[in-house]
Amino acid sequence: MGTGHYSSKTYQAVTNSRNYQSKSADQIFSDSLKLTMNPANLKNGIRECRDSLDHPVSIPIMVFVDVTGSMGRIPYNLIQNNFPKMMNTLVSHGVEDAQICFGAIGDHITDSVPLQIGQFEQETTKLIDDLSNIYIEGGGGGQCMESYPLAWYLAGYHTSTDAYEKRGAKGYLFTIGDESFHSQYSSDFIKRMMGTAESLGDFTAEQLYEKASEKYHVFHVHVEDRSYDTNYIKNEWIQLLNENFLVLRNSNSIAELIGTTVSVINGANMNSVLNTLSDHAAKDISNTLAKIQSFLPDKNDEGSSIITL
């Protein structure tokens, strides 16, 4: 895993050969939970991101999409149009050794499949396959909460990365959705989800966020288009994540937002990155990232400041 390289030409060739532009989400994505996406099938209980000859300084990036209700449009837009924008932004701004792990989040109280996780990859076809292997259950509990912290559980307790273990460098973890989060996760549920006889106990969302934050820059992206018009959802996220809670007006900019966030924290100049995007995406992302100054390599570097469009 994690070998090979991303190529936008290969992406176009593969998606054209599979007719993704003319297919519906039901035709592209899995119609059930894939064995390879089931957290209970992790080899030795771990998902690994390792250095390789192709990528000697690997950077793990985990992207978990909400697949409840209307949020199924996010992976659909990614695979049809937007995924290359993330990869091109990363590669063109010095993040050439990124390893992407796609996953999906549902509701652990009501859904049959509340958590899915792929492999860390960069080779184009493998990335497309992992994204298309997601099962869009389309459920959710109707209580304005989903189980986004389950991604933090996996990242904190079930990943092993050379970036952190060899270099003490954090990876990146993004969850994407439009609702608040469940605050409690029982030992019994985690045992069922992971297919084990034992668990580490009950967890709160705060505990899982703290654990994942040891190895990852953890962000939640709240998309506002077609989302609930409720301030309390944002307030709950802000209380937990503070500036790691990112509000994005247009979900079509998600790919560029991820690419930009990773690039600037990794040392790229913010203006330089935003100037490569469309005017609409650059304005949206500039507003979204206006509060992440503490993540920049040098907060006093005028060239790294957020631009105003």
What CATH number does residue 81 fall under? 3.40.50.410
Whole-number Å distance between alpha carbons of 137 and 104: 10
Judge contact between 98 and 89, C-beta under 8 A: no
pLDDT at 89: 96
195-199, 223-227, 239-243, 245-249, range with the lowest pLDDT: 223-227
104 within a domain of the structure (yes/no) = yes
Question: Which residue has 């270099």 as its token pair?
Answer: 167
Whole-number Å distance between alpha carbons of 293 and 304: 9
The stretch 158-177 carries a mean pLDDT of 97
Judge contact between 62 and 216, C-beta under 8 A: yes
Alpha helices in the chain (DSSP H): 8-17, 25-28, 73-77, 83-92, 124-132, 149-157, 162-167, 187-194, 205-213, 231-241, 254-265, 270-274, 279-288
Closest CA to 83 of 49, 154, 134: 134
Whole-number Å distance between alpha carbons of 286 and 157: 33
225 within a domain of the structure (yes/no) = yes
Query: CA triplet 52, 100, 256: central angle to 5 degrees?
Result: 130
The domain of 145 spans: 8-242
247 within a domain of the structure (yes/no) = no
73 within a domain of the structure (yes/no) = yes
Cβ neighbors of 195 (< 8 A, separation 6 or more) are 40, 41
Cβ neighbors of 231 (< 8 A, separation 6 or more) are none
pLDDT above 70: residue 27: yes
pLDDT digits (tens, 9 = 90+) for 265-291: 999 999 999 999 999 999 999 999 987
- This prediction has a pTM of 0.93
260 within a domain of the structure (yes/no) = no
167 within a domain of the structure (yes/no) = yes
Here the tokens at position 68 are 């409840």
56 within a domain of the structure (yes/no) = yes
Sign of CA dihedral 182, 112, 221, 259: positive
Query: CA triplet 201, 202, 205: central angle to 5 degrees?
Result: 130
Greater confidence, 140 or 307?
A: 140
Cβ neighbors of 245 (< 8 A, separation 6 or more) are 219, 220, 222, 234, 237, 238
pLDDT digits (tens, 9 = 90+) for 228-265: 557 889 999 999 999 999 999 999 999 999 999 999 99
pLDDT digits (tens, 9 = 90+) for 50-72: 999 989 999 999 999 999 987 88
pLDDT at 139: 87
Looking at the structure of the chain, the number of domains it has is 1
Question: Which residue has 């000697």 as its token pair?
Answer: 56
H helices, E strands: number in the chain:
13, 12
270 within a domain of the structure (yes/no) = no
pLDDT at 298: 53
Whole-number Å distance between alpha carbons of 19 and 30: 16
19-23, 183-187, 191-195, 231-235, range with the lowest pLDDT: 231-235
Supply the mean pLDDT for the chain.
91
pLDDT digits (tens, 9 = 90+) for 132-165: 999 999 887 667 899 999 999 999 999 999 999 9
**β-pairing verdict for 98-105 and 171-177:** unpaired
pLDDT at 227: 58
